[in-house]
Amino acid sequence: FLFSQKEHSTTFNLASQTHARTWLLWILFLSIMTLGASSSISFLRFAHIVNFILHAIKLPMVWDYEIWDGLTDLSIIFMSPVDAAPLIRWQMITFYTATAIYKLTKSFLDPRLSCAPIFVFSLLDSMIPTSIQPSSLILQFFNTTAPFLTVCVEAAIPFCLTYFPRFGICFALFFHFLIAVTPPPNNAGGFSVSVAVRYALFFALGMKLRTSSKLLLLFAPILIAVAFILGRARGNDWALPVYVGISIALLSQLFSCHHFFNSKNKIIFNKNKISWLRLLIKSLTILYTLLPILGLQDMMAPTMFANLRVFTPSNHVILPTNLLQHHDIVRVDFVNSLAFNDVHPNRADHIFSDRLSSWLKVGGHSGLQFAPYVKRAINITLHSNLPEAFLPYLLPDLELRRLLAEARAHSQDFSLIYTKLPSGDQVHYHAMNNSCSILSSTSSSYITCPSDELPFAPPLSFWQDKFLLFFSIPIAPDALFPNATEIGCLC
């Protein structure tokens, strides 16, 4: 029960606006558990109902894995654990498969731009003594192979969970352990905790532990204490000790389990009550994995660190994007509003260690990372896009309208200059007097903006506000990266 509410506890030190609410929820949960701990299934369902409601309230400022949580919560809420377990296993395998497929983008596979070398070098930087300096050939090898190795690993996880579940769980736990211990800003410990909770459903239900597994649990306090100390040293990263505790619980089951569920297992369902629910939840799951192709979701989609272009022509080697949703694209050339500059592009590489930045450059990577999603999901600004050193970026029209509304909500006086693509017309907007003018690309004169120009557009609809949240695409100065349309990792 407690582990199913874990992601709300991992944001204590990250999102101050959720701190008080999280503690109140924990007090509520513990009080109700104390009053009625005799019905574990009922409280399990209650936990997932609250989990689902919390995620719905937070939309659209949620992590992608929290959408995974919400979709799997539906299975537990409307079905018994026995009926829900095989469906959740199928959902998790589907999510993993989608993330692996979406990483087949030209950007992710490009060693100069990919997020994968940043993860690899961050781990090496945190583990290798400072006295050891790898050669340039070794760094170039890791930088070149990291994107392809990452795709292979992420594709192997759903395959192993399906056909070799015992090995698959161990493999996935180790993979998510590396994610949890990755130094900031890429330590996605909440993601690791979230998926690990659901690995319990890959075991047969109602098992008893062997003596050898009970002995493993004796080491749990020591391992969790070490993880707690490490997490504390990294800025109160509570997700790490929570993940270690869940992993120990799962491994203790792993050594006791004689039977795993896989794709060949058959579960008898009540056809009148369950079949249509399974079909509905499976349909929602598949629809969620297809949303980037349709152009209906960017952030929150199962495209973690893939640098997938959703609102521009697709950069995926196979799949199209933006099939249903047409976006007008603008290039933000200048803005002096914090509502804009704290979110986009939110450059993150300035917090890298000097050694990590050096390794990336020697390995052939741009060394650049941008984290607008970090600001959106947990309200952390890593680096404001300061006007005196402004970095232009691409946005879809809907995201620009969202940012304009947020800037006005803070009663900010600001100026905005953006270029409409592909026409090249440049729009100048001043919030103080709500004035707007357009400098045509074909003339040197300004004209007044029409009433349907983006600064005068109506507020986003409920659907657009709740589900359409977009990355920006920073544009490189020619001297930095003359032959690339993108300049670094997006997260």
**Model confidence pLDDT, tens digit, residues 324-359:** 878 889 999 999 998 898 899 888 888 899 999 999
Distance in angstroms (rounded) separating the CA atoms of residues 283 and 227: 39
Task: Look at residues 1, 26, 28 and name the one whose alpha carbon lies nearest to residue 12.
Answer: 26
Burial of residue 38 (number of CB atoms within 10 Å: 0-12, 13-18, 19+): exposed
Q: How far is CA 344 from CA 114, 122, 163, 299, 334, in A?
A: 19, 23, 42, 13, 12
Q: Are 72 and 88 in contact (CB under 8 A)?
A: yes
Task: Look at residues 403, 394, 431, 398 and name the one whose alpha carbon lies nearest to residue 341.
Answer: 403
DSSP letters, 25-78, are HHHHHHHHHHHHTT-HHHHHHHHHHHHHHHHHHHTTS--HHHHHHHHHHHHHHH
- Please tell me the predicted confidence (pLDDT) of residue 298: 93
Mean pLDDT, all residues of the chain: 82
Q: How far is CA 63 from CA 88, 271, 305, 341, 384, in A?
A: 19, 34, 12, 21, 21
DSSP letters, 381-437, are -S----GGG---EEEEHHHHHHHHHHHHHTT---EEEEEEETT--EEEEETTTTEEE
| Confidence bin at 82 (pLDDT 50/70/90) | confident
Task: Look at residues 163, 188, 170 and name the one whose alpha carbon lies nearest to residue 99.
Answer: 188
- Please tell me the predicted confidence (pLDDT) of residue 411: 75
Distance in angstroms (rounded) separating the CA atoms of residues 41 and 246: 19
Q: Is the pLDDT of residue 261 over 70?
A: no
More confident residue, 116 or 30: 116
C-alpha angle 190-194-199 in degrees, rounded to nearest 5: 145
CB count within 10 Å of CB 211 equals 7
Give the phi and the psi of residue 147 in degrees, each rounded to 5: -60, -45
Average pLDDT, stretch 288-309? 93
Distance in angstroms (rounded) separating the CA atoms of residues 63 and 301: 9
Q: What confidence tens digit (pLDDT) does each residue in 119-169 have?
A: 999 999 988 998 888 999 999 999 999 999 999 999 999 999 998 888 899
Burial of residue 434 (number of CB atoms within 10 Å: 0-12, 13-18, 19+): exposed
Output b/e per residue, 302-334; b: 16+ Cβ within 10 A: bbbbbbbbbbeebbbeebebbeebebebbbbbe
Q: Are 180 and 187 in contact (CB under 8 A)?
A: yes
- Show the beta-strand stretches assigned E in 162-305: none
Distance in angstroms (rounded) separating the CA atoms of residues 417 and 488: 24
- Please tell me the predicted confidence (pLDDT) of residue 375: 86
Residue reference for tokens 């109140």: 24
Residue reference for tokens 């070799």: 164
pTM: 0.86
Q: What confidence tens digit (pLDDT) does each residue in 415-472 have?
A: 999 999 888 999 999 998 999 999 988 888 899 999 999 999 999 999 899 989 999 9
Distance in angstroms (rounded) separating the CA atoms of residues 315 and 322: 11
Burial of residue 145 (number of CB atoms within 10 Å: 0-12, 13-18, 19+): middle
Average pLDDT, stretch 28-48? 64
Task: Look at residues 378, 329, 380, 325 and name the one whose alpha carbon lies nearest to residue 351.
Answer: 380
Distance in angstroms (rounded) separating the CA atoms of residues 321 and 230: 41
| Confidence bin at 369 (pLDDT 50/70/90) | very high
DSSP letters, 192-209, are HHHHHHHHGGGBPTT---
Q: Which amino acid is at 319?
A: L
Residue 436 Ramachandran class (φ > 0 left, ψ -120 to 50 alpha, else beta): beta
Task: Look at residues 276, 419, 412, 236 and name the one whose alpha carbon lies nearest to residue 336.
Answer: 412
Q: What confidence tens digit (pLDDT) does each residue in 463-483 have?
A: 899 989 999 998 865 534 444
Q: Are 491 and 116 in contact (CB under 8 A)?
A: no
How many Å from the N-terminal Cα to the C-terminal Cα in the chain? 30
Q: Are 302 and 95 in contact (CB under 8 A)?
A: yes
